[in-house]
Amino acid sequence: MSEREHFVRRFGDIFEHSPWVAERAFDHAASSGLTAGNVHSALCNAFRAASPAERLAVLRAHPDLAGKLAVAGQLTVDSKSEQASAGLDRLSSEEHARFTELNAAYTKKFDFPFIIAVKGLTKEEILAAFEQRIDNSAEEFEAACAQVERIARLRLGSMLPGEDNA
């Protein structure tokens, strides 16, 4: 297996189901050293350089929070762990109904799921952010992209040595 193939295999799911981000980031990341900060920078640069349609596809690859995939046990390992850390796997029926309602309204409005880096947040904080961001307009695309990058940084921080993982 080539170094590029190994890199893509290792980091291809950092941006949810989007190995093309790692493929495009390889040259920069390989020349900078494999620290969390360097790999994150390379991945984010590749993501930002992508077309709006490609970035939208990355957003759409993310699961709904506490949505159908979570209920069916079909989240990626990272997503499952992240959602569980925030208590989204232990919602009351009323909380689950509220998340379901917000997921549907948000996706209808923006054409991609609500994305937030849930690590370190409570379900109440996530719900508050959800309720605030659903009122956004065009800026929500960039807000969601920024959250995808934050999720990537947190995932890399658990995989690689580097600077502060915040």
Residues classed as catalytic: 62
Is the CA virtual torsion 52, 57, 58, 63 positive or negative?
positive
Cα(135)–Cα(76) distance, integer angstroms = 29
Cα(104)–Cα(109) distance, integer angstroms = 9
Instruction: Estimate to the nearest angstrom the gap between the alpha carbon of 63 and the chain centroid.
Output: 9
Q: In this structure, what token pair is assigned to residue 56?
A: 């939208």
CB 114 within 8 A of CB 102: yes
Tell me which residue of 70, 88, 165 sits closest to 124, measured CA to CA: 88
Burial track 46-73 (b if 16+ CB lie within 10 A, e otherwise)? bbeebeeeebbebbebbbbbbbebbeee
